[in-house]
Structure 1
Amino acid sequence: MKSAGGEGIFNQTGGTNTVAGNLTLGLAPGSSGTYTLDGGTLNVGNIVYGGGRGVFNYNGGTLNVTGNSVALNAFVSNSNFTLGSGQTLTASEGITNNANGSFTVGAGATVAAGGLGLVNYGLLGGTGTVAGNVISSGNVGPGNSPGMLSITGDYTQSALGTFTAEIGGLLAGTQYDVLNVSGTAFLDGLLNVSLYDLGGGLFAPHAGDYFDILTASTITGSFSSLSFATLSDPNLFWRVSYLTDAIGTTDVVRLSVAQNAVVPAPVPEPETYAMLLAGLGLLGVAGRRRNKRAA
């Protein structure tokens, strides 16, 4: 622990640190407190900030929050972080999930991100709610395979970003992934679609099946590249559509399965049959004549 000018820095690299009640960072006005977890285990009731500024850097190890609240100015994840069911993480200046980080918002959990919102360079998933904006140059994969992730603000996917949708059935949010955006979805980058096994074998879509994988009040732009799982029937293909509902209040990215048009073999007309049979008869006569000459 280092202290200088009202600044407290604590780096945990191993062992177990247990705080029975609240871990308060930046207790006094004008102070700042930073806790960096690089390894080991931190057991804590809640993590909060006081009158100053509190920052938590999660780089590795195990973070166990037994209470329901983590309230900080900033939260930075460089490892695998899961906000448990019913818990709340509030960061007034925003949350950063770096390239080697995995950030999962559990069922019933809420991430309240101020500032720019939740800036994702790694993997963002889960079935909870992000209260704020999400800006992603990483991979967003709703659910815990599969499920629905909700964003109350805007969703911005850069040209470097990926949206991954796993398809295991026809029921939205339970059998296939859905990203539910209350604000505007600004789309670019890659749409990656994979098939999922819910226990009865890898799902095999049929012609006419469709999946509304992203909903938003408004969709701006589109995915610039597409990667689809191979369908079992070679006559089937994936289609991506950008639609608006009948009321005009919700835009949808719809993934559907269509069938290639099958061109039937032409059926000869009766006249064609007659000409064909006549031709065969002439060939038979010519063949017999040649055979007689050979004799």
Structure 2
Amino acid sequence: MLIFKILSKINNKELIACAEIKNPAVDARPCSSARDSNLKELVMSQKFLRTTAVLLGLAAAVPVSAADISWSTGPTFNGPNGHLGILTNGSLVEAINLAGAPGASITVDPGGLNITFSTINSPFYPNSWSSAGNGGNTDAAWGTILNTFEWISGSNPTISNFLSGLTTGHQYQLQLFAARSDCCGTRTASFSDGAGHTSDAVRGDSYTSIVGNFTADALTQTLQLIDSSNNPILNAYVLRDVTPVPEPETYAMLLAGLGLLGFVARRRKENT
């Protein structure tokens, strides 16, 4: 009779498990019940560790910022009422003014749109410019935002976490403002999700916004920056959550359906 001993430490406890191979010519005694129990515990623990490793591997393989973006050209945002080109559907997530340095928040059209932009120095754009022109806006705050932009030098730089803090499954609308009326207004800008979905190119002096819609599949979202001069710019952007909200009638129908299911379940229980 040959007995194999397996040694392992699980939760700092040494386990000794044995398994027998019976000699056909000799009757072998079975292992003790205690050792059988140890063997079962060891095998189950090893299965658990293997399963955990597989799940961790799958989690690591999930893409973190790969949602496809559907692009369109949005409203223009110059002229006396250019600020009315800022879209307001859904609920505001963030409005960002890229000014080259952090500063006080700026509220556009306090008596109307009443959108407050956070003034930041973006970590993604290392350079800034403060003579881009105000686009002829009568709203002073919006003109101030448009007069500055940040820029980065390079061919189609890709930022994997341009947006963060998203809610997986929610639908978002990203409106981008990249404009200038100074020396280089004829340069064109476009944006991409880094996966082959690219917006139309617009001239800086056209003051045409670019709008991207996507459903978040991670906490972050990739944005690729494209410019005809390889110096992409961005004055500001607005991110809105446009996830449809169920109507009250939908909730009423849902509650009625749950009530009906409960009634059927009780009837079945009474009949058994």
TM-score, normalisation: structure 2: 0.22
Which structure has the highest helix share of the two?
2
Structure scoring higher RCO (CA < 8 A, sep ≥ 6) equals: 2
